[in-house]
Chains A and B, each alone.
Chain A
Amino acid sequence: GAVVSQHPSRVICKSGTSVKIECRSLDFQATTMFWYRQFPKQSLMLMATSNEGSKATYEQGVEKDKFLINHASLTLSTLTVTSAHPEDSSFYICSASVAGGPKTQYFGPGTRLLVL
């Protein structure tokens, strides 16, 4: 089956630093990847949609200059949280859609970010 990985699985950083999270489709090509954020006791909220080779589309209320998304290849998308603050602490999950296939999304295991 299609597998999506995320790295790192957990990261702790100081306030003001930037953190990069990688999302990889391991055994398929993904033209579209999605980034979600999940705060404790809340559901997943879509942050942005990332298409290979083009600019990401951000959901309303998500700062594109703070959450930089790069989808440089059909198997890799990165989310960079710039100048992270404690309120950015959350669980970040990516998903990927198979290129040319049915519109099933495969979810990664998530990255826990804690900003001190």
Chain B
Amino acid sequence: KQEVTQIPAALSVPEGENLVLNCSFTDSAIYNLQWFRQDPGKGLTSLLLIQSSQREQTSGRLNASLDKSSGRSTLYIAASQPGDSATYLCAVRPGGNQFYFGTGTSLTVIP
């Protein structure tokens, strides 16, 4: 069974700092990997989706990379802002429709 781990569990940084969130998964046979943002008590907002054939995706200040062979993905956030404070989840899809979610990284950006 696919297991997804996210490190660190929590992170607190001053505003303006660049940061990296890590995601690892045990089975490299994935269809795609997706990064989500979840605000407290809210649903999920999709940030970036990387297909298994891709190595990275960028959207604004966000950059996600994928190394399928090693079972790793990173989410890079440049010039962090207080509005970036949220929980970030990574999820992998082995195929079909099922997602396996990580436990998330809770990010706090201090003004």
Chain A interface (Cβ within 8 Å of chain B)?
Answer: 6, 32, 34, 42-46, 49, 91, 93, 97, 103-110, 112
Contact A49 B98, beta carbon cutoff 8 Å = yes
Query: What is the interface size of chain B, counting residues whose CB is below 8 A from a CB of the partner?
Result: 20
Chain B interface (Cβ within 8 Å of chain A)?
Answer: 4, 31, 36, 41-46, 49, 89, 91, 93, 97-99, 101-104
Contact B49 A93, beta carbon cutoff 8 Å = no
Contact A49 B97, beta carbon cutoff 8 Å = yes
Q: How far is the CB of B46 from chain A (nearest CB, A)?
A: 8
8 contacts between A and B (CB under 8 A): A43-B4, A43-B101, A44-B44, A46-B98, A103-B31, A105-B97, A107-B46, A110-B41
**6 extra interface residue pairs, beta carbon distance < 8 Å, beyond A49-B98, A104-B49:** A6-B43, A44-B44, A44-B99, A46-B98, A103-B93, A107-B43
Q: A42-B103, A44-B89 are in contact. Are A112 and B41 (CB under 8 A)?
A: yes
The 10 closest A-B pairs by CB, nearest first: A109-B43, A107-B44, A43-B101, A110-B43, A43-B103, A44-B101, A107-B43, A108-B43, A93-B43, A97-B97
